[in-house]
Chains A and B, each alone.
Chain A
Amino acid sequence: MKDLLSAIGKLPPLAQIPIVILLFLAAAALVLFLIEIAPRKGRTYTIIRAVACILIPVAVFLLLGSVWWAAAVAAVLGGVFFVLDYRQKEGTGYLFALAGFLAPAFVLLVIGLVYPTIQTLINSFLSSRGNFIGFDNFVWIFSSENNLVTIRNTIIWVLVVPIVSTAIGLAYAVFIDRSRGERFFKALVFMPMAISFVGASIIFRFIYAYREEGQSQYGLLNQIVVWFGGSPVNWLQQVPLNSFLLMVVLIWVQTGFAMVILSAAIKGVPAEQMEAAQLDGTNAWQRFWNVTIPGISSSLVVVITTISIASLKVFDIVRTMGMAYPDTGVIANDMVSLLQNFETGRSSAFAVILFLLVLPIVIFNARQIQKQREIR
């Protein structure tokens, strides 16, 4: 894989573009083909499936050079195709098929999630040299003002970003619902989702850029301030405003996501309920609170959870924009810096704290799902 990529990298740029696009299209076509033929009956398809079970893991191995991945992919494919071949028959083989279907996922979960989690937990009680030091890493975290600021910032991110982006996304979805040009308005807000966080951060870095008074401002925000006769502000230097300015980037990206999901959910609210509420003489506001919101509550939970977890993981925005400015740190950023400097213990301790911060969100989510089950 590396050799292939470096070989492509040595070609002139114009030749690289079509090759990369072709490779991408070929991969996409293969995936679509497999999805297309996966459920079909007949001997030919069975043979194609069997061949795919062998060739794809081999290809994965050649590309990634990792036996683990190849084995995992083989297990998943084998399991899936096996179940597809077998799925019309419930009964004697059903349990066996179910086990075959779930085993790969289970194995991958253990390798990819459970084991690292336990390892991290153990590491957080060890020094960077691997000696047991009890709670020293946590003591170090909580005895340093910088680290407390970092933890505080992360909590603020998790509180502000999901609520603001969901609120804006919901309001937008409601307002453009069944309006003319709905698709266009949706695309407009959804567009930022396609931009990477680093890209978005660079865009906003230009928006917030500052030059001293009297020089030409290349930062959009300061140029506007100057047009209105104000004097330019070094935005990212202002504590605590700067953290919120960084949050704007994530909100900008995530609002589109919230809007699309919630818009679909709103369309799923039964029209009869709306009409019934209308006949009862409610106004639009009451209908929104008492009919729409309960109707889309499950989607709301999903959206808020997803964005919360995205905010907890935020790293690239701060890395790209916040390094030179005071009090902008977040946990993920410190975790990575410490790990790169071989401070595995302190880094893992941060990871454990992050894990503890995620827990309430996960528990809340689980309870919501349970409630919805009871309703059904």
Chain B
Amino acid sequence: MGSTTLHRRVLLPIAIGGIAALTLAACSGGGGPAGDGPGDRGEADGVVTIYGTIADTEAELLEQSWADWETENDIDIQYESSKQFEAEIGSRAQAGDTPDLAIFPQPGLLGDLADRGYVQPAPEGVADNVAEGWSEDWAGYATVNDTLYGAPLMASVKGFVWYSPSQFEENGWEVPQTWDEMLALSQTIADTGEKPWCAGFGSDAATGWPGTDWVEDLVLREAGPDVYDQWVENEVPFTDPAIKTAFESVGEILLNPDYVNAGYGDVTTINSTPFGDPATALVDGDCALHHQASFYDGFISDAGGEVAEDGDIWAFLTPGTEAGASAVTGGGEIVAAFSNDEDTIAVQEYLSSADWANSRVSLGGVISANKGLDPANASSGILTQAIEILQDENTTFRFDASDLMPGAVGSGTFFKGMVAWVNGDDLDTVLEQIEAGWPSE
């Protein structure tokens, strides 16, 4: 071991290591740092990545809906789904690891990201499609601080009450036209010794969301659209009497041990019942009434029930305080882009077109609020009805409030509050806790 060999032995690895590190540093490029605002991101490499919540069968249908367009335009759309989308997209945006396009189930979440400069403003073609195909309300849901960031994709009408027409006929029950009639009907069914309603709030980390739909329906029907809009903006806080009244109305059904939870147990089992489970209870006849959005159609089919006016299961809209009122809540997705290369823009434009809406709706199971959509393309009676409701001029449509609120409330304390309320916490405390979730600025 002479000193020269030692020197060589020591210096060689260090030198080579150093050079390697420098070379690596030189050839490392990547996306720009997160949060530097919309700029030139992404590259037109013939591949467009889309990230969203839509999974399993739904995802396959989604990929089918754009398959023809992909071959025509020679663009490969790679769709990645995650049930943890809401949780991950924020972290991914903050880390700069973003897809080209994301399908946001909540405008509020899009707002959170757009507000912080992660999302690209909508390209011209998309903006034109939105102006042509969607009502101003819908365009507003994709707009943050007067900038349009994307286009709506699919929609669902919320507030359907699913029931079995044959069971109603056997017992001589009528479809209720007002809220009070619905309470009377619940009492009639309860008098037979059977609980009328089943409900399930369970949804892993998002446990509690089906409850928010109940409250939103009642706020819109009892307090009206103006209060609803102010509530979304927090000008009417959760602690306001109008919101409290809505909770109390929902409580007349959901917190009544004689009315719930048919087939599962007492009131508190609402939280631990996964939201998809009541479909089975409905089909089996264990439960007469269940409140859930139009997408439940697919769940009922999976459980072996036929959704038709003369079939096993059908639905009516949650009635308002007066008969014939047509105010509905609904939900939908917004497609927004993190990249702004040609390919991404092409895909985004296609997804915002009536062509795509018709292509997807005719594959079944979903609807869209696009004006260019032909209701006849829908796969079931309920969905055709839902499209007609959306396209009707007289419908007062309001987007799901919890989806519009900032995530900290809309998918944070509001969900938690619903769970706590069903668990028997005092309503005033629950409302204060939900309100405490509003961001300080």
A→B interface (CB under 8 Å): 43, 46, 49-50, 53-54, 57-58, 61, 65, 67, 70-71, 74-75, 77-78, 81-82, 85-86, 127-129, 131, 133, 136, 140, 143-146, 210-212, 234, 236-237, 319, 323-326, 336-343, 345
- CA A70 – CA B18 in complex, angstroms? 11
Q: In the complex, what's the smallest C-beta–C-beta distance from A76 to chain B, in angstroms?
A: 11
Chain B residue nearest to A209 (CB atoms) is B272
Among the 9-residue stretches B9-17, B184-192, B348-356, the one with 4 or more Cβ atoms under 8 Å from chain A is: B9-17
Label chain B's interface by main secondary structure.
helix
Contact pick for A341, options B9, B112, B266, B269, CB 8 Å = B112
Chain B residues with Cβ below 8 Å from A323 are: 204-205, 207, 419
Chain A residues with Cβ under 8 A from B208's Cβ? 324
Among A58, A338, A341, point to the contact of B20 (Cβ < 8 A): A58
Contacts of B116 in A (CB 8 A): 342
At the interface, yes or no: B224 with Cβ under 8 Å from chain A? no
**Contacting residues, chain A, for B9 (C-beta < 8 A):** 46, 50, 85
Give the nearest-CB partner of A66 in chain B: B28
Query: Which residues from B are CB-within-8-Å of A212?
Result: 264-266, 269
* A372–B350 alpha-carbon span in the complex (Å): 71
Stretch in B86-94, B145-153, B227-235 with 4+ CB within 8 Å of A = B86-94
Given contacts A210-B269, A326-B419, 7 further A-B contacts (CB under 8 A): A58-B20, A65-B28, A65-B30, A127-B439, A127-B441, A211-B264, A234-B268
Are A324 and B271 in touch, CB under 8 angstroms?
A: yes
How far is B88's CA from A15's CA once the two chains are assembled, in angstroms?
Answer: 29
A324 x B272 contact (CB < 8 A): yes
Query: Nearest chain A CB to B56's CB is how many angstroms away?
Result: 16
Query: CB distance B420 to A326 under 8 Å?
Result: yes
Closest-by-CB residue of A relative to B406 is A341
Partner of B408, one of A58, A61, A343: A343
> Does B143 touch A at the CB level, under 8 Å?
no
- From the candidates B20, B28, B265, name the one contacting A234 in the complex (CB within 8 A): B265
Q: Does B407 contact A (CB under 8 A)?
A: yes
* In the complex, B330 has a CB within 8 A of chain A: no
Complex CA gap A65/B208 in Å reads: 39
Whether B21 pairs with A57 at a CB distance below 8 angstroms is yes
Whether B55 sits at the interface, judged by CB under 8 Å, is no
Interchain residue pairs with CB less than 8 A apart (24): A46-B9, A50-B16, A58-B24, A74-B20, A82-B13, A127-B440, A143-B436, A146-B433, A146-B436, A210-B265, A212-B266, A234-B268, A323-B207, A324-B201, A325-B272, A339-B90, A340-B86, A340-B87, A340-B88, A340-B90, A341-B406, A341-B407, A342-B90, A345-B440
Q: Which residues of B contact A339 (CB under 8 A)?
A: 90-91
| Beta-carbon contact of A337 and B412 below 8 Å | yes
B423 within 8 A of A: yes
A70 to B408, CA, bound (A): 37
Contacts of A71 in B (CB 8 A): 21, 24-25
Q: Are A50 and B12 in contact (CB under 8 A)?
A: yes
The distance in angstroms between the C-alpha atoms of A85 and B8, with both chains bound, is 11
Question: Smallest Cβ distance from B36 to chain A, in angstroms?
Answer: 15
- Among A75, A211, A342, the residue within 8 A (CB) of B265 is A211
Residue B411 CB within 8 A of the other chain:
yes
| Bound Cα distance A202, B265 (Å) | 21
Chain A neighbourhood of B112, CB < 8 A? 341-342
Cross-chain contact of A49 among B13, B21, B24, B420 (Cβ < 8 A): B13
CB-CB under 8 A from B13, the residues of chain A are 49-50, 53-54, 78, 81-82
Is B202 positioned at the interface, with any CB of A under 8 Å from its CB? yes
Which residues does chain A contribute within 8 Å of B135, judged by CB atoms?
A: none
Q: Give the residue name and chain of the B residue nearest to A70 (CB).
A: B24
Are B17 and A54 in contact (CB-based, < 8 A)?
yes
Complex Cα spacing A61 to B207, Å:
40
Distance in angstroms between the alpha carbons of A143 and B272 in the assembled complex: 29
Contacts of B180 on A, CB cut-off 8 Å?
Answer: none
Main secondary structure of the interface of A (DSSP, over half): helix
Given contacts A65-B30, A67-B25, A136-B440, contact A342 B407 (CB under 8 A): yes
Q: Is B416 an interface residue (CB 8 A)?
A: yes
Asked whether, in the complex, the Cβ of A67 is within 8 Å of the Cβ of B407, the reply is: no
The answer for the CA separation of A58 and B22 in the assembled complex, in Å, is 11
Smallest Cβ-Cβ distance to A208: which chain B residue: B272
A234 touches B12 (CB 8 A): no
User: Is B425 an interface residue when CB atoms closer than 8 A count as contact?
Assistant: yes
- A49-B13, A319-B205, A340-B91 given as contacts; is B269 within 8 A of A326 (CB)? no
CA distance A176 to B268 in the complex (A): 44
Task: Select A326's contact among B204, B407, B425, beta carbons within 8 Å.
Answer: B425
B441 contacts A131, C-beta separation under 8 Å = yes
Which residues of B are found within 8 Å of A340, using beta-carbon distances? Answer: 86-88, 90-91, 407
Q: Are A146 and B271 in contact (CB under 8 A)?
A: no
In the complex, B429 has a CB within 8 A of chain A: yes
Residue of B nearest to A58 (CB): B20
Which residue from chain B places its CB closest to the CB of A41 in the assembled complex?
Answer: B1
Q: Which residues of A contact B21 (CB under 8 A)?
A: 57, 67, 70-71, 74
A144 to chain B, nearest CB (A): 5
How close is B83's CB to chain A, nearest CB, in angstroms?
Answer: 13
Tell whether, in the assembled complex, residue B24 and residue A57 are in contact, meaning their CB atoms are under 8 Å apart.
yes
Q: Report whether B264 and A341 are in contact in the complex, using a CB–CB cutoff of 8 Å.
A: no
List of B residues within 8 angstroms of A43 by Cβ: 5
The A-contacting residues of B in range 98-146, CB under 8 angstroms, are 112, 116
Known A57-B17, A341-B408; contact A140-B440, beta-carbon cutoff 8 A: yes
Pick the residue among B16, B269, B420 that contacts A54 (CB under 8 A).
Answer: B16
Q: Which residues from A are CB-within-8-Å of B436?
A: 140, 143-144, 146
Residue of A nearest to B430 (CB): A146
CB nearest to A131 among chain B residues: B441
Query: Could you say which of B14, B28, B412 has the most chain A C-beta atoms within 10 Å of its C-beta?
Result: B14
CA distance A58 to B20 in the complex (A): 8
Q: Which of B205, B272, B436 has the most CB of A within 10 A?
A: B272
The answer to whether A82 touches B10, judged by C-beta atoms less than 8 angstroms apart, is yes
Contacts of A49 on B, CB cut-off 8 Å? Answer: 13
User: How far apart are the CA atoms of A58 and B28 in the complex, in Å?
Assistant: 12
- Contact assessment for A341 and B90 in the assembled complex, using a CB-CB cutoff below 8 Å: yes
The 8 A-B pairs of least Cβ separation, nearest first, read: A212-B265, A341-B407, A324-B271, A326-B423, A341-B408, A50-B13, A53-B13, A323-B207
Shortest CB–CB separation between residue A318 and chain B, in angstroms? 11
Chain B minimum-CB-distance residue to A2: B97
Chain A residues near B424 (CB-CB < 8 A): 326
Residue of A nearest to B91 (CB): A340
With both chains docked as a complex, state the minimum distance between the C-beta of A181 and any C-beta of chain B, in angstroms.
Answer: 41
Within the complex, the shortest CB–CB distance from A231 to chain B, in Å, comes to 11
Per the bound structure, the CA–CA distance linking A61 and B27 in Å amounts to 11
Which B residues touch A236, using CB under 8 A? 272
Give the most central of B17, B90, B112, B116: most A CB within 10 Å: B17
